[in-house]
Amino acid sequence: MRINICQNNYDTLAIEGNKDKIKQALLQSENNVLNIFGEFSLSGSPLYNKNLYNDIYTRVNAAGDELCMTQKSFIIGTPSKITAQQDGVPGEGEVKEEFYYNSLVFVDRGEVKALATKRNLGRFDDNYSVGNGIEVVEFEGKRIAFGFYEDIFNFAQRKTEVSCVILVSNVLFDKDYADDIEKDLSSYAKRLNAPVVFVSRTGAEGNFVYQGGSFFMNRNGEVIRKLDEFEEQQVLIDTDSYNEGKVLSDNEYEKRIFLACVTGIRDYWRKSRIKKAVIGLSGGIDSAVVAPLGVAALGKENVIGVLMPSEFSSLHSVDDALQSAGNLGIEHYTIHIQGIFEATKQALAPLLSPQDTNSYDNKELSAVTNTDTTEENLQARARCMIVMAFGNRKGAAMLNTSNKSESAVGYGTLYGDDSGALGPVGDLYKEDVYKLARWINKAVREGKLKEYFDYDGEYLIPLSSIEKAPSAELKPNQKDSDTLPEYEVLDKIIKDHIENHLSPEELIKKGYNEKDVKRILHLYGINEWKRRQEAPALRLSKTCFATDFKINY
Amino acid sequence: MRINICQNNYDTLAIEGNKDKIKQALLQSENNVLNIFGEFSLSGSPLYNKNLYNDIYTRVNAAGDELCMTQKSFIIGTPSKITAQQDGVPGEGEVKEEFYYNSLVFVDRGEVKALATKRNLGRFDDNYSVGNGIEVVEFEGKRIAFGFYEDIFNFAQRKTEVSCVILVSNVLFDKDYADDIEKDLSSYAKRLNAPVVFVSRTGAEGNFVYQGGSFFMNRNGEVIRKLDEFEEQQVLIDTDSYNEGKVLSDNEYEKRIFLACVTGIRDYWRKSRIKKAVIGLSGGIDSAVVAPLGVAALGKENVIGVLMPSEFSSLHSVDDALQSAGNLGIEHYTIHIQGIFEATKQALAPLLSPQDTNSYDNKELSAVTNTDTTEENLQARARCMIVMAFGNRKGAAMLNTSNKSESAVGYGTLYGDDSGALGPVGDLYKEDVYKLARWINKAVREGKLKEYFDYDGEYLIPLSSIEKAPSAELKPNQKDSDTLPEYEVLDKIIKDHIENHLSPEELIKKGYNEKDVKRILHLYGINEWKRRQEAPALRLSKTCFATDFKINY
């Protein structure tokens, strides 16, 4: 059986555009080929509440009819709406309820033959009802199973014999589990004794990045054809040719993160119809990494850097920021915030007078430190005001530079440096930000990133931004480690808590310092309210604060 | 059969505290009484990702064991974890998967007899798997059904005969559908020919408000005992006493909204362990309504008002704001923002110079107006900076004053007036804010709100704040209606779009002006990114932007 794996980047609700993309592939397809388009390929995704709109179904049905007229065979993804009835109270009529399903439609030579509805709904399957799972149909004289990847566990329990299993899923990129589906399905292919075709989408929507990397796996669980990650691609395979040449994933950790970030920024800006990005450059590691990501995604002519030194900024920091802007070749400005800071303190005289500082008792809502938080936050907020003014005037959206470690413990100012349209490294721990910085510099030196950067030197990201001790520079000689444990410890404790679900007791038992555990988890708890309003982090893991990992606050 | 309806306010993850509350009720209960505690009564809710932690189950089980030792009969709600197995590939061992359920435990005289797991999961049932729905058990020689309200549709299709149906659900308050469960269950009671007990919780968590209003309904679908809304209460009923005295709900629209807001603010502050609130007072309707809500919830000694006039503020506005603070008797300050505004414009000279304004092309990310948005936003952000400085120094959290109409079309400044810890009227359309204002004034005049306000005059909320035309006062003689359609039209179009799911075509067909529809839905679409970062609105409907109603952006 011949199957055409179509791994595309679809736009949410751009039903006509998605249909055209699908139709083009069908028109080029031979008659006995089954073309597989992914989850929500016709409607785009995520749809959120838009699946409740009648007009979506009108448009999806019209597009589907047009696709059927090609007389080709295919599987497409779309929401579907089904009305269920039951007997009511005698005399009061029957009860009708509308149910929505995340569905796949199987079309054989232009005829709709079957519908598979998703059973194991995920975190982003808003408004959908539990469906029936994987369906078995005939195609070209053979029995095939088709449905959602998430439903394979239930299907495997039925022990149905089929000659091929076709699974689709819009798998979101996860930096730490990017090969898990391959491993998982390898075990199922063997158990079911059938080859498996897995089809995902690519591109990004909002803060979601889709990995792509669709594949064909033989009944021994070996991937023998794998599509590129983060790229649109179509590949025709023959499930009967038992090629034994096992293909390995290109699973370089930092490279995948780099491509995911570039895809995420590029599609967020493109799909919002914004060309330019503006970023505050402090000379610190975070902005030094986000700036090149922005340049790689949008081009150097579309990124604007703003330096905003204060009396607490070291000369070194300003140099590093200028170096970074220079290496990238971006437009940049220096705006001094001292005047704003002074004017604000003057206006706030009734509040900031010394006799009033006793009333300071905000343990819960302040950042990490106490005495100077008011003034520290003022500086960060003045900077936000400036970057947003550039955004307004230049038609640019702000790139946020927060990382996940800071976000976890609230080491940042809400409506200050926590701001921005999208945080490309907001789902990366500090240690991952450093790894990414080093990888980018190395890759540039090796000439691997020529399509993104026009730079011949040794350190695209200034070495000093990578090597100096992290500091918010909001008071004299401040270091992050004055008020936080070292990031090495912080990252590990937070990770074990939110990814491995270790309780405080379990963390201490594992060997972490009790004081560190208590302090970090206390900060983590009281800063949830800030995380709810931070710039959405680009989702690079299943514990992204913006969309996945919440606690009560 | 005697049933004790226990409608409590539980705290999330305060398992020991919740257990103590439950235990106290059990110790006072007679042996043949079935005590019903609601959904997640033992664990609190919402748990979000915390249901994945092992230690939760250890703690819940220990608490459950202690409750069983009372030898009483009861139903409690808690998450449960079940490990499922299936055969694996020969030689590679079996496959184990962990499943989490939203569960109710039925205990008969100290013995665990049954578990009902929720089948129809809702938007906030993160991480849970689809359960089996309503269960039938014996109690005191009678067959009773117990489970989640959401599963009644499926149970009714089974046509099982029982002598009583016990349903629980942590129903979130919805201002427009506050009597729907009563109506819905009335039809089921008749169809099943059985009395129905419905148990909900009260209080608030984060931006969720729970309505309470648990009830007992006879087999004719008449409510014959109803508990108070927004209050903790326990009521003992006898399902065999067929009282025909039908009870009517106190369904005064504005009163319910008032109580929901007061409950929401009170519990948000209490559960965050913060005493004080700070609010920017503009003299406009929104802050004039939110300030008394804050006072009613936290006490006048805990609310701080900040007036921040600029050159564009009318004298009238300042008077209204002072009047409002005076009527409420709250501490208040006047901070002039002119100096900050000037210093910022000076710092931004390289950006704001006239020759540069040509490059202004931000159609997507700006607020509604074009030419002056940069300067308008600067003022709003300077005000946010000031209110947050008060928050830092005074240990207060900021009350946000945005309403749903503004939020829908992005008529507000992100990191400016869109800020705050919680937005009590953020899920109310402008027309509802006016209704609430008039109701509060009337109720105060009638002496109905003496427990909240120490005011004897005619207009607690200054009449002029209610009657003058809404204005952001960010440029000379500005009115909201300069750039937006009148709120009457705006509210109706947005409501029909997001609540009734009418597409643009359907809205125009219904009779709305085509230009208004297109303009409003365009603004609605391009401002989704701002809604994601706004202060979370207190949820008063099922289309709350903060938690329920999203579109792709």
- For chain B, the average pLDDT equals 92
**Residue whose structure tokens are 């329920």:** B548
CB B415 to CB A361 under 8 A? no
Q: What is the pLDDT of residue A91?
A: 60
Q: How confident is the model at residue A359 (pLDDT cuts 50, 70, 90)?
A: very low
pLDDT higher than 60, residue B516: yes
pLDDT higher than 90, residue B550: no
Q: How confident is the model at residue A369 (pLDDT cuts 50, 70, 90)?
A: very low
Q: Average of pLDDT values for A101-119?
A: 97
Residue in chain B lying closest to A343 (CA): B340
Query: Phi/psi of residue B217, each to 5°?
Result: -125, 135
- Give A-chain residues touching B156 at CB under 8 angstroms: 86
Which range is least confidently modeled, A49-63, A149-163, A477-491, B349-363?
B349-363
Sequence-distant (≥ 6) Cβ neighbours of residue A552 within 8 angstroms: A528, B12, B13, B44, B46, B47, B48, B50, B205, B206
Sheet hosting strand A223-226, strand order edge to edge: A135-139, A142-148, A164-168, A196-199, A215-217, A223-226
Q: Which of B373, B390, B395 sits opposite A351 (nearest CB)?
A: B390
Helix A487-498, helix A514-526: angle, nearest 10: 70
pLDDT higher than 80, residue B246: no
Q: Average of pLDDT values for A207-224?
A: 95
Distance from CA of A507 to the nearest CA of B (A): 12
- Give A-chain residues touching B190 at CB under 8 angstroms: 89, 92
Q: Average of pLDDT values for B258-270?
A: 98
Contact, B515 vs B490, CB < 8 A?
no
Alpha helices (runs of H) in B127-217, residue ranges in sequence order:
152-158, 180-192
Angle (CA) B416 B420 B425, round 5°: 105
How is residue B45 written in tokens?
């809710």
Q: Contacts by B242-249 with C-beta closer than 8 Å and gap 24+?
A: B242/B218, B243/B218, B244/B218, B246/B222, B247/B215, B247/B223, B249/B178, B249/B179, B249/B182, B249/B213, B249/B223
- Give B-chain residues touching A360 at CB under 8 angstroms: 392-395
Encoded amino acid at A502, one letter: L
Distance from CA of A457 to the nearest CA of B (A): 31
Does residue B107 sit in helix, strand or coil?
A: strand
pLDDT in tens, A389-411: 999 999 999 999 999 999 999 99
pLDDT in tens, B484-511: 889 999 999 999 999 999 999 999 999 9
Helix A373-394, helix B338-347: angle, nearest 10: 60
How is residue B273 written in tokens?
């362990």
Q: What is the pLDDT of residue B18?
A: 97
A305 versus A469: which is more confidently predicted?
Answer: A305
Contact, A106 vs A98, CB < 8 A?
no
pLDDT higher than 80, residue B295: yes
Q: What is the pLDDT of residue A362?
A: 38
Interatomic CA distance for residues A316 and A307, integer angstroms: 13
pLDDT higher than 70, residue B42: yes
Calculate what percentage of chain A has a pLDDT beyond 70. Answer: 94
Q: Average of pLDDT values for A150-156?
A: 94
Q: How confident is the model at residue B370 (pLDDT cuts 50, 70, 90)?
A: very low
Q: Are strands A396-398 and A331-334 parallel, antiparallel or unpaired?
A: unpaired
Q: What is the pLDDT of residue B469?
A: 86
Distance from CA of A29 to the nearest CA of B (A): 32
How is residue B435 written in tokens?
């209704």
Q: What is the pLDDT of residue B86?
A: 65
Comparing CA positions, the residue from B437, B400, B544 lying closest to residue A529 is: B400
pTM of the model: 0.94
Contact, B475 vs B298, CB < 8 A?
no
Distance from CA of A370 to the nearest CA of B (A): 9
Beta-bridge partner residues of B279: B305
Interatomic CA distance for residues B242 and B227, integer angstroms: 18
Does residue A28 sit in helix, strand or coil?
A: coil
Q: What is the pLDDT of residue B371?
A: 44
The secondary structure of B344-362 as a DSSP string is HHHHTHHHHSGGGGGG---
Calculate what percentage of chain A has a pLDDT beyond 90. Answer: 81
Q: Average of pLDDT values for A55-65?
A: 96
How is residue B378 written in tokens?
């600067």
Q: Average of pLDDT values for A83-101?
A: 74
The secondary structure of B234-284 as a DSSP string is EEEEETT-----PPPP---HHHHHHHHHHHHHHHHHHHTT--EEEEE--SS
Question: How many H-runs (helices) and E-runs (strands) does chain B carry?
Answer: 18, 18
Q: What is the pLDDT of residue B470?
A: 86
- Give B-chain residues touching A267 at CB under 8 angstroms: none
pLDDT higher than 70, residue A365: no
Distance from CA of A444 to the nearest CA of B (A): 33
Interatomic CA distance for residues A235 and A33, integer angstroms: 12
A453 versus A313: which is more confidently predicted?
Answer: A453
Tell me the C-alpha to C-alpha distance, in Å, between residue B430 and each of A29, B253, B307, B494, B548: 55, 15, 22, 11, 19
pLDDT higher than 80, residue A553: no
Q: Are strands A223-226 and B276-280 parallel, antiparallel or unpaired?
A: unpaired
pLDDT in tens, B2-24: 999 999 999 999 999 999 999 99
- For chain A, the average pLDDT equals 92
Interatomic CA distance for residues B317 and B464, integer angstroms: 9
CB B415 to CB A130 under 8 A? no
Interatomic CA distance for residues A14 and A536, integer angstroms: 23
Q: Which of B389, B414, B419 sits opposite A374 (nearest CB)?
A: B389
Radius of gyration of chain B (CA): 26
Interatomic CA distance for residues B273 and B552, integer angstroms: 35
Contact, A405 vs A375, CB < 8 A?
no
Q: Average of pLDDT values for A360-372?
A: 40
Q: Which of A121, A130, A384 sits opposite B415 (nearest CB)?
A: A384
Comparing CA positions, the residue from B402, B392, B403 lying closest to residue B431 is: B403
Q: Are strands A164-168 and A142-148 parallel, antiparallel or unpaired?
A: parallel
Query: CA dihedral in degrees (A506, A508, A509, A510; nearest 10)?
Result: 90
Tell me the C-alpha to C-alpha distance, in Å, between residue A209 and each of A175, A263, A538: 11, 7, 8
pLDDT in tens, A31-45: 999 999 999 999 999
Calculate what percentage of chain B has a pLDDT beyond 90. Answer: 81
CB A551 to CB B50 under 8 A? yes
Q: What is the pLDDT of residue B203?
A: 97
Q: Residue window 72-101, chain A: list those with CB within 8 Å of chain B.
A: 86-89, 92, 95, 97
Angle (CA) A139 A143 A144, round 5°: 80
Distance from CA of B130 to the nearest CA of A (A): 8
Contact, A35 vs A25, CB < 8 A?
yes
- Give A-chain residues touching B506 at CB under 8 angstroms: 54-55
pLDDT higher than 70, residue A357: no
pLDDT higher than 50, residue B356: no
Q: What is the 3-state secondary structure (H, E, C) of A349-390?
A: HHHHCHHHHHHCCCCCCCCCCCCCHHHHHHHHHHHHHHHHHH
Contact, A97 vs A126, CB < 8 A?
no
- Give A-chain residues touching B86 at CB under 8 angstroms: 153, 156-157
pLDDT higher than 80, residue B166: yes
Interatomic CA distance for residues A471 and A430, integer angstroms: 13
Sequence-distant (≥ 6) Cβ neighbours of residue B141 within 8 angstroms: none
Beta-bridge partner residues of A147: A167
Please state whether the peptide bond connecting residue A46 to the residue before it is cis, i.e. omega within 30 degrees of 0.
yes
Q: Average of pLDDT values for A223-243?
A: 91
Q: Which of B49, B190, B414 sits opposite A550 (nearest CB)?
A: B49
Q: How confident is the model at residue A314 (pLDDT cuts 50, 70, 90)?
A: confident
Q: How confident is the model at residue A531 (pLDDT cuts 50, 70, 90)?
A: very high
Q: Is A98 exposed, middle or buried (0-12, 13-18, 19+ CB in 10 A)?
A: exposed
The number of residues making up chain A comes to 553
- Give A-chain residues touching B43 at CB under 8 angstroms: none
CB B92 to CB A335 under 8 A? no
Q: Contacts by A503-508 with C-beta closer than 8 Å and gap 24+?
A: A503/B53, A503/B54, A503/B55, A505/B55, A506/B54, A506/B55
Residue in chain B lying closest to A333 (CA): B350
